Amino acid sequence: MDTILRLNGITKKYKKATVVDSFSLTAKRGHICGLIGPNGAGKTTIMKIMAGLTLQTSGELEFFGNKDNLDEERKRMSFMIESPVIDPLMTARENMEYVRIVRGIADKSKTDEILKLVGLADTGKKIAKNFSLGMKQRLGIGMSLITSTEFMVLDEPVNGLDPEGIVEVRNLLKKLAEEQNVTILISSHLLSELSELCTDFTIINHGKLIESFSAEELMIKCKSRISIKTDDINKTAAILEDKLGISEYKVIHNDEIHLYEMLDKPETVSRTIFENGLNITKFVIEGESLEEYYLSKVGDVNE
């Protein structure tokens, strides 16, 4: 499968501040890649560098296997960075027609085709001012699709949407990837917002790559843990380390241990704790939520 995007060691400095720090990412054709990180992590800056709106301080970009003449390759891409530019007094069709004419697309049927694709064909005389946020985002995505797009770059397109709006945009993007093989890079400050959409995830914090993984790997990462409470949590931790050689665990609120190892041998864990003289008050195998996993990577920074 061909690689559509390669970012190689991208760094962006503003005066002394390094806002993107040797960041790398690849995206394959037809994949939906989530760029996830808290506010201020550097997501918009990376997308602006991709769009050519700002220059990287160092590092290399490659679009469609090409490192030179990036502006030519950018014609195959569409960008929605910050809010889409929609005229609030025009209808969905008028907004689309405006973009079509400005971009010099002669084929009028393109407008109808895209209005249908983004689910706005039946909005008639309703002006964009009266659209829900989800409809506005779909219109914005539609407007960026008017020139044929192989690769879409969307900065926080579901930010501020209600759950229904998130589903609308998610379904549209899935359709574009599945039916038209469009590659998508999409950012969010919440992993959970994109968890059901993306095929690949990259976590960024303070401009640095924290981790990249596929949707399948995410499922494994969020697999079960053993949650344990006893009458002495610190002693329990010491026993797990000394007697069982366990290192993958977290102590939560000083009274509970989340254990990520030995899920296949819970009886060994409970017996070892018991045999060392401790009373077990909770011993449950449970799953970690996506958001818990994400926060364990970036810290609790989203309000």
What number of chain residues touch ligand ADP (CB under 6 A)?
11
Helical residues (DSSP H) of 33-161, grouped into ranges: 43-51, 70-74, 92-102, 109-117, 133-144
Indicate the DSSP class of residue 170.
H
To ligand ADP, the closest distance from the beta carbon of 270 in angstroms equals: 43
User: Of 31, 43, 110, 138, which lies in the binding site for ligand ADP, with binding defined by CB under 6 A?
Assistant: 43
CB 23 within 8 A of CB 7: yes
Dist CA 259 CA 194 (whole Å): 26
Residue from 27, 41, 77, 128 binding ligand ADP (CB under 6 A) = 41
Q: What type of residue is 301? A: V
Complex with ligand ADP: residue 43 or 100, whichever CB lies closer: 43
Site string for ligand ADP, 14-33 (x = CB under 6 A): x--x-x--------------
Dihedral angle at the C-alpha atoms of 102, 105, 107, 112, nearest 10 degrees? Answer: -60
40 belongs to the binding site for ligand ADP (CB under 6 A)? yes
Among 199, 215, 126, 140, smallest CA distance to 172 is for 140
The residues in 64-123 that bind ligand ADP, with binding defined as CB under 6 A, are none
Which of 19, 190 has the CB closer to ligand ADP? Answer: 19
205 binds ligand ADP (CB under 6 A): no
What distances in angstroms separate CA 45 from CA 20, 32, 79, 192, one per listed residue?
7, 19, 13, 22
Closest to ligand ADP by CB, 43 or 225: 43
Q: Which is nearer to ligand ADP, 45 or 236 (CB)?
A: 45
Among 9, 39, 58, 263, binds ligand ADP (CB under 6 A): 39
Among the candidate windows 42-50, 103-111, 133-141, 170-178, which touches ligand ADP by CB under 6 A?
42-50
In contact, 283 and 230? CB cutoff 8 Å? no
Tokens matching residue 75: 């014609």
Taking CB under 6 A as the rule, does residue 45 contact ligand ADP?
A: yes
- Interface residues with ligand ADP (CB under 6 A)? 14, 17, 19, 37, 39-45
